[in-house]
Structure 1
């Protein structure tokens, strides 16, 4: 019980101290003028709400004397209301303080603020500031709501009456005369920075919309343009450009512009998340409802009920992104990077919209620092959204480019596959055609042997038929071998690495594969000195190259003409060349002779599949050898130079 009693006493003491602190802060309403700017946001004001907006100044003074004014902690922050709000404070000017003072009223758009200065119960000055009034007698800068006040020495009672169709926020600053110019300069510079950044972002995004051809950028540009127009109307720049524009008409245009910018804002954030996800239809319905409410707001504005509609329109602006987020965020894991960028942009927009809505509805309050919430909010989400959209578009563009590359690659692969199929079909047709000739020879020779057997023909005649059969079988064997070599060359899987072999002996072995008549035509020469016998081109691959080059030379040279085969050493290494005495190479032949299935002469007397030089080229390139072609007046020379491989000391 004793402990509980002590705890209760401590709590009471703490509560008493807290109340004293609050009371001291609230009742410390008198302002002592010195040499610095005084901002009335620390409890210097007390306010009274005139719900009828019809009370006269004398009536309000009487109500204040009756204690009807309530103290506030910062400054007037009442949101959208049809009421008029009266503020009161006391100002003490010491004798040594400046006589001339300026009273600055913010935020930027207020219809009318009346300022009354009393001393000793008498009204000594009445001033007006706002977008719907002009006070040429006291105006220092009408567009900035800045009027001049001459405070007499001693204590003065100062009353403020705020009646506006915009949000009822009021921040009052008292500026000494020697700071007028700097205060105006700073205000205009800050205003210029805000508008300048908005114009810059607008231009950049407009260029991006043309360059990237992105609908999202177009919606962003439309929203930015409407926002810029609303800001220009709110700070009075439009009347500077069009002086003939009446104040009341500017007020009407400002209200409609504000709601139109809301439509573009909703369209923009809808486009920001306009992709497929679960419950997308519910989100679509929410956005449609939001746009319909704005159109209803325009109707209400045109029927002079702007204040009523804006009170809940700001709630819609604050809650719409929040409600939509409940349906979008559960799908976060299935979104790709570009969609995540867009969702982040949507959340950023929703966050700043919520803060601004709470501010203009009076829930955050207003002070020297809080008065920057609206402009900083506008600048922040504009800049953030610009970069979010840029990242999103670039990611999307990267995905499109990758898709295009993948499509091109797929088309190329499909084209290559189609070409391979066509080449395969051509090869099979040519192989069938080439095999048909030796098969016909075999068949006719076999039939002749049967007849000879029946007729008792001599063994010599039979041997001739046997030789023809063996020659045709050998030709089929060569065709099939060439097919295997082609497949290995196409797959770049011809076996072998650096090998040691005798090039002279290999050449003789290749020449020995031809028939006796062909061997008599081949003139083989080589140096007597010792040759390098270790090469990068494997022996089996070298055999195929030699066999094909000699075979080509024999086929395309006149019957009986010699074919020269020479092995020699020069600056390229060990070179092996074949010279024929044929008609030489035309320009067409030189251009296409290494293509598969190409034949210089489509004649039955020149057999082949058109694969010889193609296989030679594949093997030469695969093993870093060199092939030179010299077209001469009579015939052509094909020279293959072999690179020496590393010597195995084992």
Structure 2
């Protein structure tokens, strides 16, 4: 019996490759061929239809638009980061420079300084150190809030006492600009976070308003909680920035190198949210801004 010669591959023949039989060619009707179907087969035979071409162009246009949006977002974040680092370096350098200058004056000239002058220099050193401490606490608290590590520890207290305590402890000559109108409202809230809310709102108002202009603070009971309000007679906040101003490292309509790094109002909003409340800003009648924070009461923790 004559054996067929497989050494010359031809149509439908087989040839040896590494000891295995491999098909040399698969015909159109061969069962091993994967058939094309639907629009792929039609496009292969006739080319893309007009509708398919428009759809492809639309997909490409959307992809390009999305890529452009991402690039703009990254550019905005980079600008925000650079502005924050610049402001942070300024906010750190200024009090450190003052502390060093005052400390060296006391060290080198203590024999010529009167006791009253020494006390005044020490008071100014403590004030600058408190500013640094507040800035670092803001940065730490912002990071803790982002990681869910600062749940409110509610204790029963009087909101009027908290407001008066914060304003009395402010170490600034601008404290004389503050006008209080607070009601006695018993409420279960986190005292530390509420004091930080009040402090950051008041410092923001004192910092970004004309010297000598008043800052009004009020507190009243509302809807099962307390409504805190801080008003000023400054330039106000543009309507399109009243949400962005509560984002980290954002300052709305403020000139470059203005005091602050854009953390205080972000903490105000996040502390309010941790209580189940909210913070917002609106126009004040007669000009200026009105910042408001609603804090609902909750069950007080047992000591």
Q: TM-score, normalised by structure 2?
A: 0.69
Match 2:262 to one of 589, 610, 622: 610
Could you tell me how far apart the structure 2 residues matched to 1:525 and 1:624 are? 25
The answer to whether the 8 A contact 1:549-1:638 is kept is: yes
What per-residue deviation string (whole Å, max 9, x for no partner) do you get for residues 18-67 of structure 1? xxxxxxxxxxxxxxxxxxxxxxxxxxxxxxxxxxxxxxxxxxxxxxxxxx
2:230 alignment counterpart? 578
C-alpha change, 1:424 and 1:497, in structure 2 (3 Å) is farther
1:29 alignment counterpart? none
Classify the secondary structure of the residue corresponding to 1:461: helix
Could you tell me how far apart the structure 2 residues matched to 1:442 and 1:648 are? 41
The answer to whether the 8 A contact 1:431-1:479 is kept is: no
2:278 alignment counterpart? 626
Classify the secondary structure of the residue corresponding to 1:593: helix
Could you tell me how far apart the structure 1 residues matched to 2:300 and 2:123 are? 45
The answer to whether the 8 A contact 1:501-1:533 is kept is: yes
1:534 alignment counterpart? 188
The answer to whether the 8 A contact 1:532-1:574 is kept is: no
What does 1:200-279 correspond to in 2, within 5 Å?
none
What does 1:11-90 correspond to in 2, within 5 Å?
none
What per-residue deviation string (whole Å, max 9, x for no partner) do you get for residues 566-620 of structure 1? 111234742111111222223454353223222242365x521111112222222
1:559 alignment counterpart? 211
The answer to whether the 8 A contact 1:564-1:579 is kept is: yes
C-alpha change, 1:576 and 1:424, in structure 2 (3 Å) is same
Classify the secondary structure of the residue corresponding to 2:248: coil
Q: Matched residue pairs, number? A: 257
Could you tell me how far apart the structure 2 residues matched to 1:288 and 1:487 are? 66
The answer to whether the 8 A contact 2:154-2:301 is kept is: no
C-alpha change, 1:494 and 1:554, in structure 2 (3 Å) is same
Match 2:106 to one of 449, 454, 466: 449
Match 1:480 to one of 124, 136, 139: 136
What does 1:427-442 correspond to in 2, within 5 Å?
427-442=84-99
CA-based RMSD: 4.0
1:458 alignment counterpart? 114
What per-residue deviation string (whole Å, max 9, x for no partner) do you get for residues 512-532 of structure 1? 22026333322222235xx34
Identify the structure with the greater helix proportion. Answer: 1
Could you tell me how far apart the structure 1 residues matched to 2:26 and 2:232 are? 88
Classify the secondary structure of the residue corresponding to 2:235: coil
Could you tell me how far apart the structure 1 residues matched to 2:77 and 2:116 are? 48
2:49 alignment counterpart? none
Match 2:24 to one of 278, 285, 288: 288
Could you tell me how far apart the structure 2 residues matched to 1:487 and 1:415 are? 25
C-alpha change, 1:504 and 1:591, in structure 2 (3 Å) is closer
Classify the secondary structure of the residue corresponding to 1:533: strand
Q: Which of these two proteins has the greater Rg computed from alpha carbons?
A: 1
Choose 578-587 or 420-429, whichever is displaced more.
Answer: 420-429
Classify the secondary structure of the residue corresponding to 2:24: helix
The answer to whether the 8 A contact 1:452-1:462 is kept is: no
C-alpha change, 1:467 and 1:532, in structure 2 (3 Å) is closer
C-alpha change, 1:641 and 1:448, in structure 2 (3 Å) is same
C-alpha change, 1:648 and 1:427, in structure 2 (3 Å) is closer
Q: TM-score, normalised by structure 1?
A: 0.34
- Counterpart check, 1:522 vs 2:178: yes
Gaps of 5+ in 2: 1-10, 41-68
Gaps of 5+ in 1: 1-262, 267-280, 295-313, 322-345, 350-381, 390-411
The answer to whether the 8 A contact 2:242-2:280 is kept is: no
C-alpha change, 1:288 and 1:597, in structure 2 (3 Å) is same
Could you tell me how far apart the structure 2 residues matched to 1:519 and 1:624 are? 30
The answer to whether the 8 A contact 1:490-1:618 is kept is: no
Match 1:640 to one of 285, 288, 293: 293
What per-residue deviation string (whole Å, max 9, x for no partner) do you get for residues 191-242 of structure 1? xxxxxxxxxxxxxxxxxxxxxxxxxxxxxxxxxxxxxxxxxxxxxxxxxxxx
C-alpha change, 1:290 and 1:489, in structure 2 (3 Å) is closer
